[in-house]
Amino acid sequence: MKQRFLALAALLLSSQAYAQYTKTAIKTLPYPQTKKVDTVTTYFGTKVPDPYRWLENDQAAETKAWVQEENKVTQNYLAQIPYREAIHKRLETLWNYEKYEAPFKEGKYTYFSKNTGLQNQSALYRQVGSGAPELFLDPNTFSKDGTTSLAGINFTKDGSMAAYLISEGGSDWRKVIVLKTADKSIIGDTLTDVKFSGIAWKGNDGFYYSSYDKPKVGSQLAGLTQYHKLYYHKLGTPQSTDKLVFGGDKTPRRYINAHLTEDQRFLVISAANTTTGNELYVQDLSKPSSGIVQVVDNFDNEHQVVDNVGSKLYVFTNLNAPNFRVVTVDAANPKPANWKDLIPETKNVLDVSTVGGKIFAQYLKDATSLVEQYDMNGKKERSVELPSIGSASGFNGKKEEKETYYTFTSYIYPPTIFKYDIATGKSTVYKKPNVQFDPTKFESKQVFYNSKDGTRIPMIITYKKGLVMNGKNPTLLYAYGGFGVSMTPSFSTSNIVLLENGGIYAVPNLRGGGEYGETWHLAGTKMKKQNVFDDFIAAAEYLVKNNYTSKDFLAISGGSNGGLLVGAAMTQHPELFKVAFPAVGVMDMLRYNKFTAGAGWAYDYGTAEDSKEMFEYIYKYSPYHALKPAEYPATLITTADHDDRVVPAHSFKFASRIQENQKGTSPVLIRIETKAGHGAGRSTAQVISEQTDKWAFMFHNMGVQYPSAKN
């Protein structure tokens, strides 16, 4: 009887009592005593101390010891959350369904990726017609722990050979392996030290690829990578003899990529020094003596050759069209002065793809998809009927294809693959995921709110139907806001844990992104970067004002540039948030350009060396430098030891300084994944483990029970 009474009493604990119980039950180990060094850099007469700079040396024994101590504190804390294992089991159950990616055709085979459920990596299969599929490549055999991933694959035009890239431990550095598709036998040696590269086959003789010289200063993961080089690799020859095609001392560029048109006539080269804007070059390979011809001679806009018909090039560009357009030009006289509009700019942002001799115009209308089909002369044939409001991607393939595939998703629509008949415009379901989620029980709605300067910002809010808006719903506010990246509706298996537990997921489309074209992007760059943070903070204030949640139940999350966003928001307004998740963030804005390819981000950020005015602007919001003694939200910083895009030193230094300055009682922890990088290629086990810790940390620090009585 006594046991029954105690059990009943436990069930009747109020949220407040439960919060008190869990918080007193968990004790945080003392943070490591992180040493401080007397390092100072002077910018335009201002001396900036950097006491934790020693953590930038990721190969030093003392840095590795610090990582171990911090992880020990974090894992000790997380292990005490009573429902952590229950969340882990729930996520494993939710994740355990077959996942497919849209198929594509190469030679006589149709290839597709599939994960049976909890496999660490998806495997690549193939089949002939409607025949039985066979396993072609299984990345789960690449390493024992599932941390080596398939990072891309490209086939010869006839499909007889393929070159695939692998990433080890999540690094951006790749290896390239070539094989015959008939029997999967390997051809030649493995290429190494390849980074930020595709593979562009030239016939069956060889292919183009891009890479940097290996860093000579610092570790390979953190060392500065300055200039990209485009090489041609002839099969059967050593990599050391590969021919430099473009780049190097004569044309130093930070990013160089190449592809061949489908008919193999033109080599197309894109060259850039930052993540926005590129030069464009073409070479007519049908003429042995032809050289590389410059089409665009500046970095002011973005341009891409998407197709050709004979000598006519189809160029996708935002030159004189911030929302993009498609133009045509003859390759003999390809300069912009000769460009002719094929699909003009509209009020909606355009992206394009080609398949079956058609152009598919994929528009964004308030961050959701509209798709139209055009012929190669620019005549609109139809609007594609999509299942509902959400995001559509795909509509690509070879010119002879009669059908294509696209994937449709939204925050409440699990990603479903559709087969599309190009002649009739009919869509049929090809693969529908069997995830444990009933979309009819949830809803997403788009709202618009005003930012600090009055700019109208869209946001999509997702929750269970009938949820009472009483200000006590656990809410995760997620955003990015940079580099022209558009945040469009997408389904997250992990978010089911939040939504079914009476939670709310909100995603605003901040300036700095690409949802409204280049004008929207530029409004969140350089000395307008504060607009992005203001948009995000205004989103939080909207959610509180309209009683979706309150500051005691509001968490913020973002990764990479989004990690910078979270860092800036929580240092500028720590009182607004209960929990913060800055992931792989750019936290030291004065030194981001000193590592890997960070200098390429200067178009968005500017650098501390640009001018006194720029330095002062960046210094003011840089999360690492903006920290001061205050009551900060419960914070779980996440990074990885193999992140060679945003080096983990950003997170290491930020964690050390916020632990030093935390005057409240909320924990400030850093979770450092091993054998993982910036995000892509992580094993399923790693993803589930991190998501488990995220939800456990968030619910516990909000005093929310799991599972909630609301679900």
Q: Which residues are catalytic?
A: 560, 678
Phi, psi (5° rounding) for residue 380? -70, 130
Pairwise CA distance, residues 79 & 239, whole Å? 48
Q: Is 313 helix (H, G, I), strand (E, B) or coil?
A: strand
Peptide bond into 103 cis (omega under 30): no
DSSP structure string for 111-146: EEEEE-SS-SSPEEEEESTTSPPEEEE-GGGT-TTS
Query: Nearest to residue 142, comparing CAs of 160, 159, 164, 127?
Result: 164
Which tokens sit at 626? Answer: 């903006």
Pairwise CA distance, residues 142 & 165, whole Å? 12
Amino acid at 77: Y
**Strand pairing partners for 702?**
none
Q: How far is CA 392 from the centre of its chain?
A: 17
Pairwise CA distance, residues 329 & 482, whole Å? 32
Pairing of strands 228-234, 255-260: unpaired
Which tokens sit at 441? Answer: 């029980």
Q: Cα 547–550–554 angle (5° rounding)?
A: 120
Q: What is the CA radius of gyration of the chain?
A: 26
Pairwise CA distance, residues 409 & 493, whole Å? 12
Which tokens sit at 190? Answer: 């493995």
Neighbours of 452 (CB within 10 A): 13
Query: Nearest to residue 471, comparing CAs of 541, 539, 543, 549?
Result: 549
**Which helix H or strand E contains 625, and what residues bound it?**
helix 623-626
* Residue burial 138-164, b: 16+ Cβ < 10 Å; e: rest: ebbebbeebbbbbbebbbbbebebbbb
* Residue burial 170-203, b: 16+ Cβ < 10 Å; e: rest: bbbbbbbbbbebeeeeeebeebeebbbbebbbbe
Phi, psi (5° rounding) for residue 457? -120, 130
Neighbours of 551 (CB within 10 A): 16
Q: Is residue 521 within 8 Å of 512, Cβ to Cβ?
A: yes
* Segments in 12-103 forming alpha helices (H): 15-25, 61-79, 84-95
**Strand pairing partners for 329?**
313
Pairwise CA distance, residues 420 & 340, whole Å? 30
Neighbours of 439 (CB within 10 A): 14
Pairwise CA distance, residues 535 & 480, whole Å? 11
Neighbours of 217 (CB within 10 A): 7
